[in-house]
Chains A and B, each alone.
Chain A
């Protein structure tokens, strides 16, 4: 079985801050990491392979600049077998439509039976690329997968995590899943894994190799475009009570009563 896991290298948004004076992003000391949801996807791919008695191969791929290679190597170190970097200046500025097109084309080029994606990327937060890929590939999808109950070369039974609880879905392969953090606990890399990852050769795929025209991808191929970026309206801090607990509580209750909140 050929499993493909698209991953994204993102800035560690937990560290990204806004400078309130200049209204700009402060990225000093912000590391590039593998999108956390994607690490769960890679881990699930490795577990599926283990369940199938290793009768599967896992390819991780990413659309990004050359430095995204380090993200691929991190994935190789935890059990992915091969990696491909889909890189081309033509891809820059892609929105989710163009991104899903590029990734789907690359996945088709590589060959696949199962695509596992992370639920969303923590910089874009759209959760649209996974479903977009499944349409371009014309395969059924299951999003928000929290557990894989059954997996065979022909079909999968998964639990989707939805607002009210879970749904049990059966899908034929080939298919695509997007996974949530409920699904597993990603393993740490092993020393051997890291060494193998360091030496591994990463395949490069360009727009030309994939048969993608510049105007179908990148900024030109994106139906949506960002026209403005600004910092969110800061909510001004209000009153803060300090001192004896009894006093503070009394003041708070009085304030909330007056404001008709309670």
Chain B
């Protein structure tokens, strides 16, 4: 159904992509502007995705999903297609993925059985809670505490800028259980909406991805049973890092989708807009811009897919490539969407046309799930480590 480069997708992957595109074109596109303006949470799209069996494409079959062995690639394909229509709405799905990953990567079989089927079926959404007001890039300095009391943990603190905050029912939250152990003193927990003392702050008013909901999480003596602790005490940051390794290509895929959507608008416009008696696409100044945009997008896409495959194949330490894909794709998205506005000229600046939304949506991809500065840091460190390892 879809044209473009042949990336050797399996039949299932093609189905996911094609179905994702159908949802994007038929269901998301018509409501994207509305959700961008009102900030309403796209529950109706969640229902469409759930009915289409798409909410669980990254979850194994035994827990109700349809991963079929390639969860990473599936997630990327779907995130890209949905983001092409609206990254904000797509985030309701993608952020659920992020929130679910810690359970997938480090949960016990009991925990997986308890939480994954409802998430795979689209009945419950998830969210990932690590960031705090004073702990963004410096994730190790989180202040939220989890104090053991018998077989419960009492959690106090706040989390900031949590996507799906308030709408999701399942939250993977990171808290310090032992400050003395520094980076080895954090633990991951699964919290559920409705737990006593667990409340939400106001909804944030954002520049872009306004179709997604971002809220503060507030924990006031929230009692969480031991059965909700993910892995052993002290493994929190390791779980977080492992999660990011897997989730970052997903963010990259979002960025590729945003960029592609913007490019499609720009090409269509350049093709039909006539000035000086010709379509502006026939002027090399514009044509070259479009060419550069297309090249960057394809390169980003290829990198994202390669990374997803690499991870699905069981790579132990995909950190460098994950970081590369996220950093590169999000930078491309920002460049492409900026140029897309330029191609549309005055029309690009008007809210009446969809291109300025892509630009506003793209910006966050350079920021969340680790700023691109952090990504570059990770890549540099990985390179140095490799060099050090080769020294002899």
Chain A directly contacts chain B within the complex, with at least one CB pair under 8 Å: yes
A interface residue numbers (CB < 8 A to B): 187-195, 198
Q: Is the CB of B11 within 8 A of A191?
A: no
Determine whether B323 belongs to the interface, using a CB cutoff of 8 Å to chain A: no
Please determine whether B51 and A188 come into contact, CB atoms closer than 8 angstroms. yes
With the chains together, A189 CA to B52 CA distance in Å?
6
Task: Using known A-B contacts A195-B12, A195-B15, A198-B11, determine if residue A188 contacts B66 with beta carbons closer than 8 Å.
Answer: no
Which residues on B sit within 8 Å (CB–CB) of A191? 12, 15-16, 19, 52-54, 57, 66
Min CB distance, A16 to chain B, in Å?
19
Find chain A residues with CB under 8 A from B281 CB: none
B26 sits at the interface (CB 8 A): yes
Query: Could you list some 25 contacts between A and B, CB below 8 A?
Result: A187-B51, A188-B19, A188-B23, A188-B26, A188-B48, A188-B51, A189-B19, A189-B22, A189-B52, A190-B19, A190-B51, A190-B52, A190-B53, A191-B15, A191-B53, A191-B54, A191-B57, A191-B66, A192-B53, A192-B66, A193-B53, A194-B19, A195-B12, A198-B11, A198-B15
User: How near does chain A come to B60, taking the closest CB pair, in angstroms?
Assistant: 14
* Bound form: Cα–Cα A194–B16 in Å: 9
Closest to B23 in A: A188
- What mask results when residues 16 to 29 of chain B are scored 1 for a CB within 8 Å of chain A, else 0? 10010011001100
Q: Roughly how many angstroms separate A190 CA and B12 CA in the complex, as a whole number? A: 12
- Tell me, rounded to whole Å, the shortest Cβ–Cβ distance linking B265 to chain A: 20
Kindly report which residue of chain B lies nearest to residue A186, judged by CB atoms. Answer: B26
- A194-B15, A195-B12 given; name 16 further pairs at CB < 8 Å: A188-B48, A188-B52, A189-B19, A189-B52, A190-B19, A190-B51, A190-B52, A190-B53, A191-B15, A191-B19, A191-B53, A191-B57, A193-B53, A194-B19, A195-B15, A198-B11
B residues with CB within 8 A of A: 11-12, 15-16, 19, 22-23, 26-27, 48, 51-54, 57, 66
A198 to B22, CA, bound (A): 17
Q: Specify the chain A residue showing the minimal Cβ separation from B20.
A: A191
Q: Give the complex CA separation of A190 and B23 in angstroms.
A: 10
Give the distance in Å from the alpha carbon of A192 to the alpha carbon of B23 in the complex: 15
The 10 closest A-B pairs by CB, nearest first: A191-B53, A190-B53, A190-B52, A194-B15, A192-B53, A188-B52, A191-B66, A188-B22, A191-B19, A191-B15
Residues of chain B contacted by A189 (CB below 8 angstroms) = 19, 22, 52
A220 to B48, CA, bound (A): 47
- Nearest residue in B to A187 (C-beta to C-beta)? B51
Whole-angstrom distance between the Cβ of B16 and the nearest chain A Cβ: 7
B344 to chain A, nearest CB (A): 22
Report A83 CB to chain B, min CB distance, Å.
18
Within 8 Å CB of B11, what residues of A? 198
Residue from B22, B48, B51, B52 having most chain A Cβ neighbours under 10 A = B52
| Residues of chain A within 8 A of B23, CB atoms compared | 188
Main secondary structure of the interface of B (DSSP, over half): helix
CB closest chain-B residue, reference A194: B15
- How long is the Cα–Cα vector from A194 to B13 in the complex, in angstroms? 12
Residues of A within 8 A of B48 (CB): 188
Chain B min CB distance to A251 (Å): 24
* Distance A191 CA – B19 CA, assembled complex (angstroms): 7
Q: Least Cβ distance of A247 to chain B in Å?
A: 22
- B residues less than 8 Å from A188 (CB atoms): 19, 22-23, 26-27, 48, 51-52
Which residues of the partner chain A approach B12 to less than 8 Å between Cβ atoms?
Answer: 191, 195
Q: Name the CB-closest residue of A to B53.
A: A191
| Closest residue on chain A to residue B26 by CB atoms | A188
> How long is the Cα–Cα vector from A188 to B54 in the complex, in angstroms?
11
Contacts of B53 in A (CB 8 A): 190-193
CA distance A191 to B61 in the complex (A): 13
How long is the Cα–Cα vector from A258 to B15 in the complex, in angstroms?
A: 60
Nearest residue, chain A, Cβ from B56:
A191
In the bound assembly, the distance between CA atoms of A198 and B11 in angstroms comes to 10
Contacts of A193 in B (CB 8 A): 53
Chain A residues lying within 8 Å of B57, measured Cβ to Cβ, are 191
Cα distance A257–B24 when bound, in Å? 48
Residue of A nearest to B15 (CB): A194
Closest to B22 in A: A188
A198 to B19, CA, bound (A): 14
Residues in chain B near residue A192, CB distance under 8 A: 53, 66
Rounded to whole Å, the gap between the CB of A228 and the closest CB of chain B is: 36
CA distance A173 to B52 in the complex (A): 32
Taking CB as reference atom, which chain B residue is nearest A198? B11
CA distance A192 to B27 in the complex (A): 19
Q: Chain B residues near A194 (CB, 8 Å)?
A: 15, 19
Chain A residues whose CB sits within 8 angstroms of the CB of B26 once the complex forms: 188
CA distance A192 to B52 in the complex (A): 8
B15, B23, B51, most chain A CB atoms within 10 A: B15
The chain A residue sitting closest to B78, CB to CB, is A191
CB distance from B383 to the nearest CB of A (A): 39
Per the bound structure, the CA–CA distance linking A195 and B18 in Å amounts to 12
A195 — which chain B residues lie within 8 A by C-beta?
12, 15
In angstroms, how far is the closest chain A Cβ from the Cβ of B348?
Answer: 24
A23–B336 alpha-carbon span in the complex (Å): 41
Closest Cβ of chain A: how far from B13's Cβ, in Å? 11
Shortest CB–CB separation between residue B22 and chain A, in angstroms? Answer: 6
Q: Which of A188, A191, A192, A193 counts the most chain B CB atoms within 10 A?
A: A191
